[in-house]
């Protein structure tokens, strides 16, 4: 017997609640998905994509990893971007970081965390690229700013991918956004770095 019985009970209650509101919900959704948004966010359990923007299943295509990184050689992330842009034809790609990100914090620490430190080297790179922006800041201020700068760097990486470059060359209506979320108050902030064409 599963020791995770409570999760199955939760699932049944959730599915029944949705079916009460809309009996056709799951049968409609099972036929196709047509999300307009791709969300690239952190794996942090406190930053669930659909709930933050209050959208039901079927509305957001999601990729999450530690510290919401878009690495040029990450076939997993690139495949998600390619499928969502070329097949699902999403209109918006949202890179969403969050303040208080454990991945960002860990990247600035000297202690070892294991394999993940190799992944977090990419955050250390963002720190190094922006070294001049941290002068005079407290540690917490630096962490918050690095969370934002990391999002901006990943937005650039999305824009520079061959997938997005080709989409824009082919006239796709596609925008890439950088957001940051506060786990302290549940509020999203737009970093106003939206890019909508090769020339932006």
Closer of 67 and 93 to Zn ion (Cβ): 67
Catalytic residue among 77, 101, 147, 159: 101
Catalytic-residue membership of 42: yes
Chain residues binding Zn ion by CB under 5 A are 42, 44, 101, 103
Q: Give catalytic status of residue 44 as yes or no.
A: yes
The residue annotated as part of the active site, out of 63, 77, 98, 159, is 98
Bridge pairing between strands 188-190 and 175-181: antiparallel
The residue among 152 and 172 lying less far from Zn ion, judged by its C-beta, is 152
DSSP letter string over 25-85? HHHHHHH----SEEEEEE--TT--HHHHTT--TTSEEEEEETT----TT-HHHHHHHHIII
Instruction: Identify which of 50, 64, 142 has the alpha carbon closest to the alpha carbon of residue 104.
Output: 142
Identify the bridge partners of residue 39 per DSSP, sorted by sequence position.
62, 94
Q: For Zn ion, which is the closer residue by CB, 42 or 146? A: 42
Concerning whether 6 is annotated as a catalytic residue, the answer is no
- Look up residue 197 and give its two tokens: 């064409």
Q: Cβ 69 to Zn ion, closest distance in Å?
A: 10
Task: Say whether 46 is catalytic.
Answer: yes
Residues noted as catalytic: 42, 44, 46, 98, 101
């Amino acid at each position: 017997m599963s020791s995770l019985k409570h999760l199955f009970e939760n699932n049944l209650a959730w599915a029944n609640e949705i079916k009460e509101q809309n009996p056709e919900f799951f049968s409609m959704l099972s036929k196709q998905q047509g999300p307009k948004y791709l969300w690239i966010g952190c794996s942090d359990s406190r930053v669930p994509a659909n709930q933050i923007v209050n959208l039901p299943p079927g509305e957001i295509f999601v990729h999450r990893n530690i510290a919401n990184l878009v690495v040029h050689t990450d076939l997993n992330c690139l495949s998600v971007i390619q499928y969502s842009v070329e097949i699902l034809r999403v209109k918006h790609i949202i890179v969403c970081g969050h303040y208080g990100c454990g991945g960002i914090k860990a990247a600035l620490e000297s202690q070892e965390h294991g394999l993940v430190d190799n992944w977090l080297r990419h955050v250390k790179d963002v720190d190094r690229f922006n070294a001049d922006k941290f002068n005079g800041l407290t540690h917490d201020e630096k962490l918050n700013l690095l969370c934002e700068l990391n999002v901006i760097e990943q937005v650039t990486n999305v824009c520079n991918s061959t997938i997005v470059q080709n989409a824009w060359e082919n006239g796709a209506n596609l925008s890439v956004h950088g957001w940051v979320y506060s786990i302290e108050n549940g509020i999203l902030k737009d970093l106003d770095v939206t890019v909508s064409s090769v020339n932006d």
